[in-house]
Amino acid sequence: MTPSAISITNVTKSFGEKFALRDVSLELAAGTFNVLLGPSGSGKTTLLRCLAGIERPTSGTIAIGDQVVCSDQVLVGPEKRHLSMVFQDYALWPHLTVRHNVGYPLASSKWSKAQRSARVDDLLERVGIAHLADRYPNELSGGEQQRVALARALSADVGLILFDEPLSNLDADRREQLRIEIATLTRESGATAVYITHDQAEAFALADRVGVLRGGQLVQFGTPEQIYQRPADAFVAHFTGVSGEFDVEDFERRSDGLATLTLPFAPEHPIVACVPQPIDEGARASLFVRASAVRISDDCVERGLHGTVLDAAFTGRGYEHVVELAPRATLTKVFSETRYERGAAVALQLDPRSCFLMSLENERK
Amino acid sequence: MTLSLRALKPRIRLGSITVWVVLLLLIVIPVGGFLLVAVSPRLFNLGPQWFTLSTIRETFTGYTRKGIVDSLFVATLASLIAVTVATTMAWLVQRTNIWGRRFWSGAMWLLLLVPTWMTTLGWIDVIQPGELGTALGIHALFLYHHFFGPDGIVFVLSTAAMPFSYFVISVAMRGLGSEFEDAARVHGASRWRTIRTVLPIIAPALLSAFAISFAESMSDFGVAFTLGSAAHFPIATYVLFNAIYSFPANFQVAAVIAAVLILSTIPPVYLQSRVMRGRSFAVLSGRSKGVRRHQFSTKMRILVTAGVAVVMFIVLGLPLLGAVASSFTNTASLVTPTGIHWTLAAYRQVFSTPPSFTPLGPPLVTSNELGLITASITAVLALVLAKRLASRTSGVAQRIMDSFLLGSVAVPGIVLGIGYIFFYDQRFITQHVIDLYETMPLLIMGLVASATPGQARLLTGPVAQLQSTMSEAARVHGASKFRTWRTTTMPLLSRAVVWAWLLTFTKTISELAIAQILYQPGHEPVSVDIETYLGTIFATIGSAATVLTLVEMLGVIVLVLGLYRLVTPRGWRRLGDARNA
């Protein structure tokens, strides 16, 4: 099946007076892996369900490939959109065995019975549950059930696969393992993927393109690098993972595109940061510091910020520290291969490339 | 966010309109017409006034007032007892390792299909001096006196309502994962506290059980007819019957009582909807694990199983034994001065009846035909209604339908029957629309109208347990609406629908009130035929016919369940099965 490009134009969805989506427009290239990222209530599930055809948008147009599947005049049923989906609760049919669950989408294909059976066997083998083919869903673990759901979604050889937070019910170990399998198998299939999650690490690990949603609106859409390095606003910067966020006392734009700023608790230590979006002189602003920007040392005569270690957590390859710079001003996830004990005085150097000066003037409440 | 696929076509209301038209023709218009008589006797040429409230004032005085108050009292008490016993039984059968779990579930079904008039007569055959109790050496005259009073009425109504509660609660318990129990236990809850913690999770089912038990008790006619009159403890349905069958018939008072019966079910529905606000029955999904059974020690297992056996013997075994014993004699009472005389005479006479009586064969065939058609139509209609009732969008329409269906359960068959005669015998209907009076289709419509509300509510539990993602998954994986229904919805509901069909089938065969009023002359159903024997010197032939009818009904149940087992895949039958841990 040829992968499908997706075109979402001015899609709005309301439930009564509550808007779940507001005027969302998005173009997804064929064969790409796209992740919609956002907190609860941001509208990502609704957008996915509109794509699937389970919900009908209040207004707007959705096209899958060359076919308009939803507009004011057109509504194509889910079964005619040539897509498949992995549900958050897996949605496996409890009265069907694993084999029949996986083979379900093939029933409407033109394949012979033998071909269908071979396809199911192949998929079960690839997701590692061939030995469970004759079991029923309630005889499987959560990870095994999710593998069945993944195999079912892959079985029909469709141009578009949707993932509705498929890993949210799994433990960390299984999540990591299945994330890799989803990424590999989906890319092997060649289909366009739309995957929703509230976990930025998962989003960045999987995506070719990430769309960040907030309050039913698409805030930013781009590559993971673009999202991470040039967040569209304070919300995106915050939601995609920061080590610390501080009110800025004063700042000054520089000719090289950077800015020099001071923090209220350390006016004697000016900090240099990127300015990813335009910001007016004198605007209310915050400094967002990515974890990767921070270098920790115990050389307290060094220039830079100074703080006290509150906590140190062993992560296997090193230690993540929480450092207090001032009351109610902390940096988290400060990595070092060596451990700094709780209460130790430390110095912190910040890499300007991963520090963002962001305006709070347009921040939506 | 989970909305059903129906959200796809919000503008299309054709389904809703069809459902309401069917309900209007089956229930609302016939019953509504009859109820109008209460305030507008002139409408049906039953009095001079176009509008009067005097009948309502008249109804709430003296004998009729007492009947209404008595009914509310016994129905409340019987429902509370039924829900309490049924919850215990459901937990023991569904969630513990007691012996004979299938047998006890089967016994509940048997209890459900035995009509209350049969239970009452069976009990009289047990405790009346000279009957089975005497034969067994139990001379409990005080029980006999208690039985003919409110105690007896509450007892029989409780036993009749118990299976309704049992099945509603059983479904909820089967679908409830054992993780809630586990969570309570690991956080230090005692066994008793665990039960108290988990029970509120199935509160919607408990309230549903109470509501349906209350409505069934309010509308029951069998007990009212057989016990209420003799006990000098009038209850509403008997007062209603008296109002219609006394001379001259007082249709206006009957209509007021019917209205009271319907209105009395609103409080439990209101209570249920309040508690269910923000809750959902949805516990059956692709992720559901099989439930784990509590393991009693051998000693406790013996004790608890014996306790269940005693309860079931009292509520079901004894009255059946009484009826069976009575059918094997040919004398006025079982124990005579010359001893007990067992004979098969009554069974022989069933098929070669005395003059002016009808042999059992043709009525039994008629009843089976009626049962087959009624059960099939009802199963489809009830499933459609249950789907609407289980919808998560709790709008005004759903609440109206919920209240309406429960109110309809409280409409006694006799009211439906009279409502049908009123409406479908009106000149403008018979001359300009269709003349159904004294025809089989009218009887079938009445039976469907009587069975549908109760079945719809019984099916609501299983339907509500289906996660919407079950059908959504089918649709997004290429299944059409029909294939989605055939391959996912139907298998998941098949067991509940088969049982609903069986229940309607058996209830139709034993139904008396509607059959008596609407049967086509020359085609008496079996219940009408049996009724002609009761109170005559040939009563034992009636008892034998009753026993044979019961056996035939059981045969059909065994046959249908056997066929279901043969033709359905294993996956269909294992849903909700508990696993021994």
* Residue B394 lies in domain: 15-334+356-573
Do residue A77 and residue B476 have CB atoms under 8 angstroms apart?
no
Exposure of B79 by Cβ count < 10 A (0-12 exposed, 13-18 middle, 19+ buried)? buried
Phi, psi of B570 (to 5 degrees): -60, -40
Query: Residue B292: beta bridge partners?
Result: B579
pLDDT reported for residue B270 = 63
Which residue type, as a one-letter code, is found at position A200? Q
Residue B348, domain member (yes or no): no
If we measure between CA atoms, which residue out of A67, A66, A53 comes closest to residue A11? A53
Residue B518, domain member (yes or no): yes
Residue in A closest to B574 by C-alpha: A95
Which residue type, as a one-letter code, is found at position A365? K
> Is the minimum CB–CB distance between A137 and chain B shorter than 8 Å?
yes
Do residue A156 and residue B472 have CB atoms under 8 angstroms apart?
no
Distance CA(A128)–CA(B2), nearest Å, equals 31
Q: Which of B8, B473, B574 sits opposite A91 (nearest CB)?
A: B473
Comparing B60 with B180, the larger pLDDT belongs to B60
Summarize the confidence of residues B39-44 as an average pLDDT: 83
> Is the minimum CB–CB distance between A54 and chain B shorter than 8 Å?
yes
Q: Which of B394-398, B494-498, B556-560 has the lowest mean pLDDT?
A: B394-398
pLDDT at B2 over 60: no
Distance CA(A73)–CA(A23), nearest Å, equals 18
pLDDT in tens, chain A (365 residues): 688 899 999 999 998 888 999 999 999 999 999 999 999 999 999 999 999 988 899 999 999 999 999 998 889 888 888 899 998 888 888 888 999 999 988 887 788 899 999 999 999 998 889 999 999 888 888 889 989 999 999 988 889 999 999 888 777 777 888 899 899 989 988 999 999 999 999 999 999 999 999 999 999 999 999 999 899 988 999 889 899 999 998 899 888 889 999 999 888 888 999 998 888 888 889 999 999 999 998 876 666 789 999 999 999 999 999 999 998 899 999 999 999 999 999 999 999 999 999 988 766 44
pLDDT reported for residue A191 = 92
Tens digits of residue pLDDT in B561-580: 999 999 888 888 766 443 33
> Is the minimum CB–CB distance between A134 and chain B shorter than 8 Å?
no
Residue B363, domain member (yes or no): yes
Comparing A326 with B192, the larger pLDDT belongs to A326
> Is the minimum CB–CB distance between A111 and chain B shorter than 8 Å?
no
A328 Rama sector, left if φ>0, alpha if ψ -120 to 50, beta otherwise: left
**Band (B183; pLDDT cuts 50, 70, 90):** low
Residue B199, domain member (yes or no): yes
Tens digits of residue pLDDT in B65-110: 888 898 999 999 999 999 999 999 998 998 888 999 989 988 998 8
ipTM: 0.73
Tens digits of residue pLDDT in B418-434: 788 777 877 777 888 88
pLDDT reported for residue B282 = 40
Residue B339, domain member (yes or no): no
Best mutation target, A95, A100, A169, A196, to test chain B (most B CBs within 10 A): A95
Tens digits of residue pLDDT in A120-160: 999 999 888 999 999 988 888 888 998 999 999 998 888 99
Residue B3, domain member (yes or no): no
Number of domains in chain B: 1
Tens digits of residue pLDDT in B234-289: 888 888 878 877 777 788 888 888 888 878 766 666 665 555 544 444 444 444 44
CATH at residue B384: 1.10.3720.10
Q: Chain A contacts of B280, Cβ < 8 Å?
A: none
Residue B561, domain member (yes or no): yes
Contact B439, B469 (CB under 8 A): no
Q: Chain B contacts of A53, Cβ < 8 Å?
A: 8, 475-476
Q: Following CA atoms A198, A201, A207, A208 in sequence, which dihedral angle do they give, to the nearest 10 degrees? A: 130
pLDDT reported for residue B286 = 40
Tens digits of residue pLDDT in B350-385: 887 776 777 778 888 999 999 999 999 999 999 888
In angstroms, the Cα distances linking B491 to A5, B338, B501, B558 are: 36, 59, 15, 20
pLDDT reported for residue B284 = 40
Do residue B487 and residue A104 have CB atoms under 8 angstroms apart?
yes
Domains, in order of start, for chain A: 6-237 (3.40.50.300), 239-359 (2.40.50.140)
Pairing of strands A355-359, A285-289: antiparallel
Residue B155, domain member (yes or no): yes
